[in-house]
Chains A and B, each alone.
Chain A
Amino acid sequence: MLSKMRIVKSGFTALAAISFIMGSQLSIAAGGSETKGLPQLDISTWPNQLLWLAATFLVGYLLMAKVITPRIGAVLNTRRQTISDDLKRAKDAETEAKQMKENYESAIETARITAAEAASKAMAEAKAKAEAAEVDLTTKLAKKTRAAEIKLSKMRDEALANIHDVAKELTLDTVSSVTGIKVKKTEADKAVKKVIKLSGQEA
């Protein structure tokens, strides 16, 4: 940067020198007006320039120092403040959102656990009920079976007893009608019993 500037500067100095020579020659060639040299070196204009420079620079300084720089500084400050505030707000919103997400997730977890508990409880209850009902039914059925069995055996005994009587009667009737012999009831009974015993032995 600096070396570049130096090159530009030296180039300028050379060009300025050339242009001075050319300029003076041009004006001489053109037979121009008096060549007084540089107007900058005319001391008579200096006090006036210094006065105006002081006045304008002072006014410029006051305007910049009192109006412009405080205004720009304030705007830049406001901007910095706004940006940092916005960043803080964004961070707050982020943590809030995170918190909300955590809450939501924990709520869902709790709900899931509660639901699972309720389901298992209901299942256990239903099972217990079913078991109780089964036990009840079994005992009832057993009772009924038992009663039926008793009834059945009774009926069978009765039937068997009836068979004796019927066989006795039949024997008496058959013997009397075939042979005409009056058989005593006790004898018939004895005979039937004997036969039954025999048939039972055969069987």
Chain B
Amino acid sequence: MHSPVEQFAIKVLFALNLFGFDIQFTNSSLFMVLAVLVSFGFLFIAMKPAAVVPGRMQGLAEMLYEFVADMVRSNVGSEGKPYFPFIFTLFIFVLFSNLLGLIPYSYTTTSQIVVTFAMAIVIFLGVTVIALIKHGLHFFSFFVPAGAPKVLIPFLVLIEVISYFVRPVSLSVRLFANMLAGHTMLKVFGGLAVMIASAGGIFAAGSLLPLIAIIGLTGLEILVAVLQAYVFTILTCMYLNDALHLH
């Protein structure tokens, strides 16, 4: 019997040698490449007709675009426009990684803390740099809540600073934990079904129960995959808004 977390193991598919560097092509790499290829392929084919009256595929592609554009517009405002391509890429990348991971025998790259944390830390550093360039030293007023009693200010600043630096952690752990938990749970119920079925006789019929649970969970996991991609993106928008407007 396999452990339910064995599905997260990195397996080397083949070794690559690029300019003398040893780059292993793993299952994780494969699904990162697939996320880019599938998302780009879908959007490219969907937008191929470029029709004024869109078909189903084009309508879906436009919906994704409008969804992210609305998110940026309502959370960041017109100043967020230059960052739209990045936020769109982020949403699409996370969404397709999450959804591709739900296909049986596939790999969920966003269930790797290193992947989500890398994205989160890049967003965190990028946003901080944007804020520093835009506001200079005035940026540090961000940590001082307006209208707070003077006595409380040191504590509040401390809390604000901590909460600011916790951002990349919470952002990455949220996505990672959701993916990890969902996939582990699916595997546990799957293992349970197999175990009950192997008991044989009348007991085997009992394996239907975890099977039904898996069906429900898969639906829930699709929701979580989309929702977490949305949460990841909207939080990025909020951080960007803080950087551009300091509250």
Q: Which residues of A contact B (CB under 8 A)?
A: 5, 8-9, 12-13, 15-16, 19-20, 22-24, 26-27, 29-30, 32-33, 35, 37-42, 45-46, 48-54, 56-57, 59-61, 63-65, 67-69, 71-76, 78-79, 82
* Complex A-B: 6 CB contacts under 8 Å: A12-B181, A23-B5, A45-B26, A48-B10, A60-B35, A82-B52
Q: When the two chains form their complex, are residues B62 and A19 in contact, meaning their CB atoms are under 8 A apart?
A: no
Q: Which residues from A are CB-within-8-Å of B178?
A: 9, 12
Q: When the two chains form their complex, are residues B23 and A57 in contact, meaning their CB atoms are under 8 A apart?
A: no
Q: When the two chains form their complex, are residues B114 and A71 in contact, meaning their CB atoms are under 8 A apart?
A: no
Q: When the two chains form their complex, are residues B65 and A72 in contact, meaning their CB atoms are under 8 A apart?
A: yes
Q: Which residues from A are CB-within-8-Å of B36?
A: 56-57, 59-60, 63
Please name the residue on chain B nearest to A48 by beta carbon. Answer: B24
Given contacts A12-B177, A26-B191, A60-B89, contact A76 B112 (CB under 8 A): no
Q: When the two chains form their complex, are residues A12 and B52 in contact, meaning their CB atoms are under 8 A apart?
A: no
Residues 55-88 of B contacting A (Cβ, < 8 Å): 58, 61-62, 65-66, 84-86, 88
Q: When the two chains form their complex, are residues A61 and B10 in contact, meaning their CB atoms are under 8 A apart?
A: no
Please name the residue on chain B nearest to A35 by beta carbon. Answer: B3
Interface 0/1 of B1-33, CB less than 8 Å to A = 111111011100000000000011010110011
Q: When the two chains form their complex, are residues B33 and A56 in contact, meaning their CB atoms are under 8 A apart?
A: yes
Which one of B132-140, B149-157, B182-190 is at the interface? B182-190
Q: Is the interface of B mostly helix, strand, loop or mixed?
A: helix
In the complex, how many angstroms separate the beta carbon of A5 from the nearest chain B beta carbon? 7
Please name the residue on chain B nearest to A60 by beta carbon. Answer: B36
Please name the residue on chain B nearest to A30 by beta carbon. Answer: B1
Interface size in chain B (residues, C-beta < 8 A): 63
Q: When the two chains form their complex, are residues A5 and B231 in contact, meaning their CB atoms are under 8 A apart?
A: yes
| Other 19 A-B pairs with CB < 8 A, given A12-B178, A13-B181, A52-B28 | A15-B181, A16-B185, A23-B3, A30-B1, A32-B3, A38-B180, A39-B10, A40-B113, A45-B26, A48-B10, A49-B109, A52-B23, A56-B29, A60-B35, A68-B43, A69-B85, A75-B62, A76-B62, A82-B52
Which listed residue, A41, A53, A63, touches B115 by the CB 8 Å rule? A53
Q: Which residues from A are CB-within-8-Å of B43?
A: 64, 68, 72
Given contacts A27-B3, A64-B85, contact A71 B188 (CB under 8 A): no
Q: Which residues from A are CB-within-8-Å of B222?
A: none
Q: Which residues from A are CB-within-8-Å of B119?
A: 53, 57
Please, how many angstroms separate the alpha-carbon atoms of A41 and B176 in the complex?
12
Q: Which residues from A are CB-within-8-Å of B8?
A: 38-40
Please, how many angstroms separate the alpha-carbon atoms of A38 and B54 in the complex?
46
Q: When the two chains form their complex, are residues A32 and B2 in contact, meaning their CB atoms are under 8 A apart?
A: yes
Q: When the two chains form their complex, are residues A75 and B47 in contact, meaning their CB atoms are under 8 A apart?
A: yes
Cβ-based interface call for B158 (8 A): no
In the complex, how many angstroms separate the beta carbon of A24 from the nearest chain B beta carbon? 7
Most chain B CB neighbours (cut-off 10 Å) among A37, A39, A76: A39
Q: When the two chains form their complex, are residues B185 and A65 in contact, meaning their CB atoms are under 8 A apart?
A: no
Please, how many angstroms separate the alpha-carbon atoms of A28 and B10 in the complex?
22
Please, how many angstroms separate the alpha-carbon atoms of A63 and B37 in the complex?
10
Q: When the two chains form their complex, are residues B184 and A39 in contact, meaning their CB atoms are under 8 A apart?
A: no
Q: When the two chains form their complex, are residues A12 and B3 in contact, meaning their CB atoms are under 8 A apart?
A: no
Given contacts A32-B3, A69-B65, contact A51 B23 (CB under 8 A): yes
